[in-house]
């Protein structure tokens, strides 16, 4: 039976053709989905426009919108195990990771419920006795939320929660490969009592559904997470329409091990920072700079840890690294490793697809790739400059810290960076000069919903999360109120 999608508050078959959702770990079928077509975009937008303008929503009080988000957070928490299992089938990440994403989605809903309830407006300093001024925020209208496949439920909630809290309507276009979690989220919003039409979930092709949404004249904001080239394309569309965009894009983040780092802590952190999610993370610490003085002991420990990682079936509780999203993506990753070899790189560990069969996992049926570490390349090499989005780490020794800063910042990207040092003064100074939206010191890939997230340079525009995150979905208005008993003077 075809799985329906959520168009303007109705569950029905989309008009964009059928897409088969498969479990990347073994190719088994999750669902046949009736994806959206351009007509569905039109219908969802038309209904969303009426829904967000409806006075019942337009004039809803912050705590009423917050109540829906709190309810959704509770529903997510209550069905966390099922949602995590579903997401693992959607994109092949291990259960422990998808559980983390599910709980993050619940936390995001709660955070923006609270942000909405407690948001203050301001009276700018009053410079006249003839009038007073107030600064208030209004919703934007319809938000197109376009998301990638690597962390579905969390990415989607990072857009849906602040957009609804701010009083907008949202139309979600999940990634082609991973529509299941977003469809489940729609069910939970429906159950929580979100008025019809304020949320649609339209799985379908980016070039058809995503494009139609972005270009639709009634869509007034594009909130996008995905690759830099798609983001740049959407930014052009937004520029033509003169509408705001939030762009969370790609990365090639440097991780730096200084000579005084705690070797064990650093090796574990670096290993996790690149290889968790099989490296399919925008923030993956993909370029590793290690001080010459500690290169030998550090690399020995890192290689030992990497060789010990358990790559396997994502539903197995001991698995640390699951399947890549697809065979096509695995081939892309393998192509980067071949390119590294051709450019003179030395593969220190990994470097090939995992095949064969064990009691726990049929590797031949999935898309499993060995955690791979490559040395012997320069930072300017192709493999150091391009985002691989797979379990591939390139290691670069350094001995001069000024030169290190130049190399670490020598990238079109600027999403994240890591620093391992016991010298906090030096670490802080380094953190301030690295060109990255997030810098972790003595930890990596840790997140707080209250800390804004986003990229420098080609890693993005705008910030998600944090108390200010809700303002990305609002527009500011100044209101002047006359106080004088006299008519307006002429000048």
**Active-site positions?**
248, 282
3-state secondary structure of 326: coil
Q: Which helix (H) or strand (E) holds 85?
A: helix 80-91
Q: Which helix (H) or strand (E) holds 286?
A: strand 285-291
- Contact mark string toward ligand NAD, 443..482, x via CB under 6 A: ------------x----x----------------------
Q: Dihedrals φ, ψ of 464, to 5°? A: -105, 165
Cβ closest to ligand NAD, residue 266 vs residue 282: 282
Q: Binding-site residue total for ligand NAD (CB under 6 A)?
A: 30
- Contact mark string toward ligand NAD, 94..133, x via CB under 6 A: ----------------------------------------
- Shortest distance (Å) from residue 281 CB to ligand NAD: 7
Q: Is 146 in the site for ligand NAD (CB under 6 A)?
A: yes
Strand partners, 219: 142
Q: Is 226 in the site for ligand NAD (CB under 6 A)?
A: yes
Helices 80-91, 95-118: inter-axial angle, 10-degree rounding: 120
Q: Which helix (H) or strand (E) holds 56?
A: helix 55-58
Specify the stretch interacting with ligand NAD by CB under 6 A; choose among 61-69, 93-101, 147-155, 390-398: 147-155
- Contact mark string toward ligand NAD, 326..365, x via CB under 6 A: ----------------------------------------
Distances (CA, A) of 394 to 277, 367, 375, 380, 401: 17, 21, 6, 12, 19
Q: Is 148 in the site for ligand NAD (CB under 6 A)?
A: yes
Helices 62-78, 152-165: inter-axial angle, 10-degree rounding: 160
Binding residues for ligand NAD restricted to 243-262, rule: CB under 6 A: 248-251
Tally of residues, the chain: 491
3-state secondary structure of 159: helix
Specify the stretch interacting with ligand NAD by CB under 6 A; choose among 19-27, 77-85, 169-177, 420-428: 169-177
- Contact mark string toward ligand NAD, 290..319, x via CB under 6 A: ------------------------------
Cβ closest to ligand NAD, residue 149 vs residue 298: 149
Binding residues for ligand NAD restricted to 190-209, rule: CB under 6 A: 206-207
Instruction: Tell me how many helices (H) and strands (E) the chain has.
Output: 15, 22
- Shortest distance (Å) from residue 396 CB to ligand NAD: 21
- Contact mark string toward ligand NAD, 264..283, x via CB under 6 A: ------------------x-
CA distance 475 to 472: 8
Contact 481, 132 (CB under 8 A): yes
Indicate the pairing of strand 416-420 with strand 438-441: parallel
- Shortest distance (Å) from residue 346 CB to ligand NAD: 26
CA distance 350 to 306: 9
Q: Is 150 in the site for ligand NAD (CB under 6 A)?
A: yes
Specify the stretch interacting with ligand NAD by CB under 6 A; choose among 49-57, 116-124, 144-152, 334-342: 144-152
Closest alpha carbon to 189 in 75, 356, 56:
75
Contact 271, 310 (CB under 8 A): no
Cβ closest to ligand NAD, residue 250 vs residue 397: 250
**Position among 35, 87, 91, 147 found at the interface with ligand NAD (CB under 6 A):** 147
What distance, in Å, lies between the first and last C-alpha atoms of the chain? 71
Site residues (vs ligand NAD, CB under 6 A): 146-151, 173, 175-176, 206-207, 210-211, 214, 225-227, 230, 233-234, 248-251, 282, 387, 389, 415, 455, 460
């Amino acid at each position: 039976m075809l799985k329906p999608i959520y168009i303007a508050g109705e569950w029905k078959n989309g008009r964009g053709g059928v897409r088969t959702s498969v479990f990347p770990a073994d190719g088994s079928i999750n669902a046949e989905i009736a994806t959206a077509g351009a007509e569905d975009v039109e219908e969802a937008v038309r209904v969303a426009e009426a829904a967000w303008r409806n006075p019942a929503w337009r004039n809803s009080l912050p705590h009423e919108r917050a109540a829906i988000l709190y309810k959704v957070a509770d529903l997510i928490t209550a069905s966390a195990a099922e949602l995590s299992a579903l997401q693992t089938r959607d994109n092949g990440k291990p259960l422990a990771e998808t559980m983390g994403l599910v709980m993050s989605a619940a936390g995001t809903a709660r955070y923006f419920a609270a942000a909405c309830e407690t948001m203050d407006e301001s009276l700018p300093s009053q410079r006249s006795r003839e009038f007073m001024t107030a600064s208030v925020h209004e919703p934007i209208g319809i938000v197109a939320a376009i998301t990638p496949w690597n962390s579905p439920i969390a990415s989607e909630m990072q857009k849906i929660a602040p957009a609804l809290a701010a009083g907008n309507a949202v139309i979600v276009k999940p990634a082609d490969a991973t529509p299941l979690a977003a469809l489940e989220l729609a069910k939970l919003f429906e159950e929580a009592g979100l008025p019809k039409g304020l949320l649609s979930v339209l799985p379908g092709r980016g070039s058809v559904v995503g494009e139609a949404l972005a270009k639709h004249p009634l869509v007034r904001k594009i909130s996008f997470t995905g690759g830099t080239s798609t983001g740049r394309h959407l930014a052009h569309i937004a520029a033509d329409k003169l509408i705001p965009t939030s762009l969370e894009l790609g990365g090639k983040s440097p991780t730096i091990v200084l000579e005084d780092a705690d070797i064990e802590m650093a090796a574990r952190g670096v290993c996790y920072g690149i290889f968790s999610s099989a490296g399919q993370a925008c923030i993956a610490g993909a370029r590793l700079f290690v001080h010459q003085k500690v290169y030998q002991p550090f690399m020995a420990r890192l290689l030992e840890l990497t060789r010990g990682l358990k790559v396997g079936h994502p539903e197995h509780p001991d698995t640390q690294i699951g399947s890549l999203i697809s065979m096509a993506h695995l081939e892309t990753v393998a192509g980067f490793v071949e390119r590294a070899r051709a450019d003179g790189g030395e593969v220190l560990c990994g470097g090939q697809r995992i095949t064969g069969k064990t009691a726990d996992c049929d590797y031949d049926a999935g898309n499993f790739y060995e955690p791979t570490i490559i040395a012997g390349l320069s930072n300017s090499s192709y493999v150091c400059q391009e985002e691989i989005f797979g379990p591939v780490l390139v290691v670069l020794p350094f001995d001069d810290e000024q030169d290190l800063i130049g190399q670490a910042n020598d990238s079109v990207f600027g999403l994240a960076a890591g620093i391992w040092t016991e010298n906090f003064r030096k670490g802080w100074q380094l953190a301030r000069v690295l060109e990255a939206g997030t810098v972790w010191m003595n930890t990596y890939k840790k997140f707080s919903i209250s800390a804004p997230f986003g990229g420098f340079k080609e890693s993005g525009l705008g910030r998600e999360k944090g108390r200010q995150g809700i303002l990305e979905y609002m527009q500011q208005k100044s209101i002047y109120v006359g106080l004088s008993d006299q008519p307006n003077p002429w000048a």
